[in-house]
Chain A
Amino acid sequence: AQSVAQPEDQVNVAEGNPLTVKCTYSVSGNPYLFWYVQYPNRGLQFLLKYITGDNLVKGSYGFEAEFNKSQTSFHLKKPSALVSDSALYFCAVRDSYNTNAGKSTFGDGTTLTVKP
């Protein structure tokens, strides 16, 4: 079975400060991990993914995420937040043992607010 948790409903940071949005997962096999972002009144957009290889994954808009197998985490990070980063962020996971046509499980989402 696969599951994902985003422990924070809301994250607030000041512009220019580093930001972290947390995600933890549970899988039976190996995890395929994704971050998506939803700007107001828009559909979800893919940000980045971890499949295999380097634990630090770089994605769009200056975001990166660190895969930590021992802590079963995949936290999203950015060194310097922008007001325009304010959005709803979703973490998603698919278990390598899940052969079910690419069906991923999404977290409940974290609202990031960056204040000027």
Chain B
Amino acid sequence: DVKVTQSSRYLVKRTGEKVFLECVQDMDHENMFWYRQDPGLGLRLIYFSYDVKMKEKGDIPEGYSVSREKKERFSLILESASTNQTSMYLCASSLPYRTTGSDTQYFGPGTRLTVL
């Protein structure tokens, strides 16, 4: 089974702090994603990466950056946390469509971040 792990289930930070959310997958997937989940807004894509050191902006990248130095690890960085970044953050990974004929995503358990 694919396993996607996230470094923390719950995190509390103060406004202005730099925050790192880590995600690790163990199935050699090329694609990795960071979403935030807010009630009534569904899942919104922040950034995704289709290879090591490659990244693309999603729908809501403002205030975030990412790092992918190794294939299995994808980090989300909040350069200066703000209260409106309080949310559930979900990481996912997938094989590319060209490999599997589909791109089913496998999700981690999520990190609930509270910014005070």
Q: Which of A49, A102, A103 has the most CB of B within 10 A?
A: A102
CB < 8 Å neighbour of A107 from B42, B92, B96, B102 = B42
Q: Is the CB of A9 within 8 A of B58?
A: no
CB < 8 Å neighbour of B108 from A43, A46, A92, A94 = A43
Q: Is the CB of A106 within 8 A of B109?
A: no
Say yes or no for A83: interface residue by CB 8 A criterion: no
Q: Is the CB of A102 within 8 A of B94?
A: yes
Residues of chain A with a CB closer than 8 A to B96's CB: 101-102
A interface list, Cβ under 8 A from B: 9, 32, 34, 36, 42-46, 49, 51, 90, 92, 94, 100-104, 106-109
Top-7 shortest CB links A-B: A102-B103, A101-B50, A108-B42, A43-B107, A106-B43, A44-B107, A43-B109
